[in-house]
Structure 1
């Protein structure tokens, strides 16, 4: 909708309309309608320009940061895994049970109250959010814009259902408050996240935290960790950065035991 033209006082102090000068009115209207006149923070086309990438990165970060702070999401457990795992899968059931355990678990002397965080999609992510939902506790979904539409799963707390454009900012928020990271079977995306977390721990770029791989048979077949060690490409200490578990209870016990031993 075009902006309405203001009334202007004439030289004698009487109010007149710019319509008294139709040509001037048309010129002013053209200026108001010009893309250059749109306020910068309201100019969607301008904000999408390549040179505005740095600003968009900041917006991606700060919107999520503000919301997480506002809802007191301070300490989290991040659950990763495939979007393709069906709801009748054993791993879906384990992730769902883990979400419920975490949702119901109180803070302890060694571990604060944790909030479940996932990538917000279907499969394992849905299962973990669902378990937290069924426990009556809030959970977070950090969705990402993809070439194919991926809707958020229905079990995320509405106020904590976020969407990112940049994978880098999403990855940052997945780990920024993480007290533990749990990896269920998955494909390229899950493996990418796993090796990124292990690399950050290996290089001391993030504070130490327990990493649990659910399904030892799957992970040992998917990644030959022993071969990497035998080839001298990782150290024995690197292989100690993660543990295996087969159930929700074992996963949660591993996380708690890690913090008890770290005291």
Structure 2
């Protein structure tokens, strides 16, 4: 019995145009690699050589916004004796108190970007980078933007939307699906880190980079400044970790505390000079008295092992 003629088929879709496949578990490795190669291509195109990363809370407002929220609360006529009103007032007072960290991050990013823009060379050096969201992240991008520099935002796709702040350079606005790839890009180009007060996310990111530095998994020396000694010493007792033997006493030399934008700027500048004496012709700052580790490669390259050992 003869077979029926086969039905003509449409052309099959190319694998890299098949959205069902690309979003499937089978293509997870391709999505991971895309979050490595696509940012690298953009950093090369924008001539970004290295970065200074700012971490901190997404919840702190600019000082004028915090005052505005306080005034709005005071003018609503809430019953002050109610538990809810007391909680709202307490939160508003804390918001005003913590707003100075927003302003300090903004000022420090401005100071640093003014300095970095004057460095010689055709590449953009020590570009201010944040997690791309509001709060301290916005403050850092804002300060760099107001100083006329490029600024990077490494955002993360979350169930609750976190929109990029408006001060990120558009070509350097990133959004990641995988936390670990976002963390990789925080570490890959960073020559320095400034940690402002924050919560779980800030603690996670800070201790991850401290651990990489402690275990010599970074093929470069990283300057780490922890901003706001009063806040941090009330949140975590790093001295107790050393006293109990959980970390070595020398591990406390991995970071320094700063309490003003000017002090933080000086520490960053000294740290950068200690890493790369050729970066700042004419500068005569006293380097931080630590033994410099081998510096990272100056050009972006495809070999991850050269940056994270």
Flag whether TM exceeds 0.5 (same fold). yes
Residue 50 of structure 2 corresponds to: 75
Alignment gaps of 5+ in structure 1: 1-22
**Once the 2 structures are TM-superposed, how far is the Cα of residue 32 of structure 1 from its aligned partner?**
2.1
**Once the 2 structures are TM-superposed, how far is the Cα of residue 129 of structure 1 from its aligned partner?**
0.3
How many residues align? The count is 232
Task: Provide the rounded CA distance (Å) in 1 between the counterparts of 2:119 and 2:223.
Answer: 17
The equivalences for 1:60-71 within 5 A come to 60-71=35-46
Can you list the C-alpha shifts for 1:144-202, whole angstroms capped at 9, x where unaligned?
A: 11111110000000011011111111111111111100000010000001100110000
| 1:253 partnered with 2:283 | no
Residue 61 of structure 2 corresponds to: 86
| 1:134 partnered with 2:146 | yes
Task: Provide the rounded CA distance (Å) in 1 between the counterparts of 2:125 and 2:209.
Answer: 22
- 8 Å CA contact 2:227–2:257 kept in 1: the answer is yes
TM-score (norm 1): 0.84
Aligned equivalent of 1:150, options 132, 139, 162: 162
Task: Provide the rounded CA distance (Å) in 1 between the counterparts of 2:16 and 2:265.
Answer: 45
Residue 32 of structure 1 corresponds to: 10
Residue 186 of structure 1 corresponds to: 198
Residue 217 of structure 1 corresponds to: 230
Name which one, 1 or 2, has greater alpha-carbon Rg: 1
Task: Provide the rounded CA distance (Å) in 2 between the counterparts of 1:165 and 1:27.
Answer: 41
Question: Which contiguous aligned blocks of 4+ residues in structure 1 show a shift greater than 6 angstroms?
Answer: none
Residue 83 of structure 2 corresponds to: none
| 1:235 partnered with 2:270 | no
Task: Provide the rounded CA distance (Å) in 1 between the counterparts of 2:178 and 2:191.
Answer: 23
Task: Provide the rounded CA distance (Å) in 2 between the counterparts of 1:32 and 1:154.
Answer: 45
Secondary structure of the residue that 2:245 maps to in structure 1? coil
Task: Provide the rounded CA distance (Å) in 2 between the counterparts of 1:132 and 1:45.
Answer: 40
Task: Provide the rounded CA distance (Å) in 2 between the counterparts of 1:133 and 1:243.
Answer: 26
**Once the 2 structures are TM-superposed, how far is the Cα of residue 249 of structure 1 from its aligned partner?**
1.4
Task: Provide the rounded CA distance (Å) in 2 between the counterparts of 1:185 and 1:133.
Answer: 22
Residue 170 of structure 1 corresponds to: 182
Secondary structure of the residue that 1:58 maps to in structure 2? helix
Task: Provide the rounded CA distance (Å) in 1 between the counterparts of 2:179 and 2:119.
Answer: 31
**Once the 2 structures are TM-superposed, how far is the Cα of residue 52 of structure 1 from its aligned partner?**
1.4
TM-score (norm 2): 0.72
Task: Provide the rounded CA distance (Å) in 2 between the counterparts of 1:68 and 1:164.
Answer: 15
Aligned equivalent of 2:112, options 91, 94, 102: 102
Task: Provide the rounded CA distance (Å) in 2 between the counterparts of 1:70 and 1:113.
Answer: 14
Alignment gaps of 5+ in structure 2: 64-98, 275-286, 293-309
